[in-house]
Chain A
Amino acid sequence: MRRNSALHLNSSSRPASVRARTRTRFAFAARCCLAALAVSCAVVAAAGRVAPFPDGAALAQVSGNERRVWDQGDEAAGQFARGGVIYESEATTAYVQGVLDRLFPEFQGHMRVAILKSAQLNAFAMPNGRIYINEGLLARLNNEAQLATLLGHEGTHFTHRHGYQSEESVKDNAAFATLGGMVVPLLPQLVAVSSMYGFSRQMETEADVEGFARLKRAGYDVHEAPRVFEHLIAEIKAEDIKEPFFFATHPKLADRVENMKKLSAGVASGGSGTSVADYSSRMTQVRLDNLEHMLSMGRAKSALVMLGDPDRRAQLPPQASYYLGEAYRLRGQEGDIKLAEQAYVQAIEAAPEFAPSYRALGVLRLKVNHYADAQRYLDRYLELAPEAPDRKYVESYLKIARKKAGGQP
């Protein structure tokens, strides 16, 4: 997974050039914080454990420092909401919430799920029981059992109070104190940071094991569990992501796939939540939104992981070939423009009323001086999308195409 920018939450209004001046020092401070967090998590794990919550009723007893940590979680939740990063889909959110409640029936009403507008493959649990899952991860999963694997893992971070333990360890750890004033300004955001970057090796392993037990108890097919981590491995390969600093203390993804396979080895096949068609029908819009999101961020390789598989593409609406074409065009490797063109043509055949395919093909033809073709496709685009936001660009292309197409058939 790409490193999350939780430490840069206040930077949005600054120009890139202003941020560049402080980035190095800030990155160093962030690394120090995370190093201390990693070390201190290990210290707490060794020193002693806080008992998990037995059920939702026990949450009323939360007080003192833990209550303060919860309040920080509430504050982070407010920041997500105010920042406009919540993916607003009542139906999808209700569906994901339903899966979470099935896994944690004794916590129903106390654990709340939200989807974030982010193409990154990530999910995290706040100490107060708020579970966040990125639209990108939701889109990448294949079925409900895989979603349940993920939610079982994140839910366990909450029920086993991993967020609270991590935050406490950060405060108490002597190593952390040596960082002095540099760290103090970041403390209010540490709850969010620790949740989003993951917990200690022991906590992650515990979440895997307990989450797996929940999955089994709820009747899901446990053999889907390893596949969740395989999606993450594919993403890391596609984006050529180096082993993140903080995750160096965590079980490696390949090891987690193996652990999950071992856990599920003794369990008979079967169980629910394996229908790809059912999950796909619920995730169609999320997947399309995610594709647009990925491509608008230039993440062509990630989009190709999702679209390169014909089976997965078949789960998407007919215009999916257009997004495949866009992914090839944006990747821009040798031969990609040809592949893009083929995909656009397929998209026009499969979804003749979908306007963007005509614009994309028109621009490609214009760039190789096939002006008559370009004019035909661009005219069709504006016919289908007269209010297109890029109309002025397209009109400028059409002027050229019309003028140059004079002598072309």
Chain B
Amino acid sequence: MKQMLTLVFVVLLCACQQMPERVDTARSEAPDKSYTVDLPVGWIKQQTVDKRSMLASRDGFLLEFVAITKRPLKEAFPKTKKAATPDMLPAELAELEIAEIKSQDQFTAALSVAENEPAEIGGQEGFQVRLSYKNIRGLEIQRVVDGFADKSAYYQVEFGAPTLYYFDTYYPDFQKVLASFRLSAGDKKTTGGSAQSTFLFGSVR
């Protein structure tokens, strides 16, 4: 009886968990249809249970990953419990993103930032941060995070991989993913990015 209950529990658990699937066609759409992005064909992809993140990987999520995440502004940075606002400067968002990653564990807390600069993501003014840290085995991990906020949400497109072999190998794939990111037409109407753009760049280009 006990074994049967365990089996039922495991089956239920598996049923709730969406399994990874192969990327057959590049174009992928967010669960709420707020953005589209082209993932590398042949990779595996998976959505998180909360449907806030779309993950893709070539060799396994624990080795290298691309993650596209959309969170409500108030829950933009869950670890540090900080909110994003549409009028935040990209540098301020980058500051909060770094704090968020640093707050993950004692190894990321010792990270070093290699680059932190303004960036454009799908036509929205945001930031790009490149950072690295060592994990428990002393393996150096590099991460690149691009992010921006609009009137309703904070978006980030992220790539992480060990410096050894994986980062350089798959970084070009990440760049293609990043370049393909687009807010959907409906979502664009609600963006605050244009206001930010005017403040930062729009009026001076």
Residues of A within 8 A of B (CB): 4-6, 8-21, 79, 82-85, 116-119, 293, 296-298, 363, 367, 389-390, 392-393, 396-397, 399-400, 403
Query: Is A13 in contact with B103, judged by CB distance below 8 angstroms?
Result: no
Considering the complex, which residues of chain B in the window 34-58 have a beta carbon less than 8 Å from any beta carbon of chain A? Answer: 48-50, 52-53, 55
Q: Given the complex, which residues of B lie within 8 Å of A297, measured CB to CB?
A: 80, 99, 102-103, 109
Tell which of B63, B107, B158, B200 touches A12, judged by Cβ atoms closer than 8 Å.
B107
Asked whether, in the complex, the Cβ of A16 is within 8 Å of the Cβ of B79, the reply is: yes
Q: Which residues of B contact A15 (CB under 8 A)?
A: 53, 55, 61, 65, 67, 158, 160
Residues in A neighbouring B133, C-beta threshold 8 A: 12, 84
B157 to chain A, nearest CB (A): 11
Chain B residues numbered 90-110 whose CB sits less than 8 Å from any CB in chain A = 90-91, 95-96, 98-100, 102-110
- B65 near A83 with CB under 8 A, answer no
What are the residues of chain A within 8 A of B162 when measuring CB–CB? 13
Closest chain B residue, CB of each to CB of A81: B138
On whether the beta carbons of A8 and B134 are closer than 8 Å, the reply is: no
Q: Is the CB of A5 within 8 A of B105?
A: yes
Contact assessment for B136 and A393 in the assembled complex, using a CB-CB cutoff below 8 Å: no
Do the beta carbons of A400 and B67 come within 8 Å of each other? no
Contact A9 B80 (CB under 8 A): no
Pick from A14, A82, A119: contact of B137, CB below 8 A. Answer: A82
Are B106 and A116 closer than 8 Å at their CB atoms? yes
Q: Are A400 and B135 in contact (CB under 8 A)?
A: no
Q: Which B residues are closer than 8 A to A by beta carbons? A: 17, 48-50, 52-53, 55, 61-63, 65, 67, 69, 77-80, 82, 89-91, 95-96, 98-100, 102-110, 113, 115-118, 133-139, 141, 158, 160, 162, 199-201, 203-204
Residues of A within 8 A of B108 (CB): 12
Cross-chain contact of B135 among A13, A16, A399 (Cβ < 8 A): A13
Q: Which residues of chain B come closer than 8 Å to A296, judged between CB atoms? A: 95, 98-99, 102
Interfacial chain B residues near A403, Cβ < 8 Å:
203-204
Bound together, the chains give a CA A400 to CA B107 distance in angstroms of: 38
Q: Which residues of A contact B50 (CB under 8 A)?
A: 20
A392's partner among B62, B109, B118, B203 (CB-CB below 8 A) is: B118
| A10→B95 CA distance, assembly (Å) | 25
Report which of A10, A18, A298, A399 forms a contact with B80, defined as CB distance below 8 A.
A298
| 17 A-B pairs with C-beta separation under 8 A | A5-B106, A10-B135, A12-B105, A12-B108, A12-B136, A13-B139, A13-B162, A15-B53, A16-B67, A16-B100, A17-B53, A79-B137, A119-B109, A296-B99, A389-B116, A397-B200, A400-B204
- Cα–Cα distance between A392 and B115 once the two chains are bound (Å): 10
Do the beta carbons of B62 and A13 come within 8 Å of each other? yes
Chain B minimum-CB-distance residue to A389: B116
B106 near A390 (CB under 8 angstroms)? no
**Closest beta carbon of chain B to A212's beta carbon, Å:** 29
Residues from chain B with a CB closer than 8 A to the CB of A85 are 106-107, 109-110
C-alpha spacing A266/B61, complex, angstroms: 61
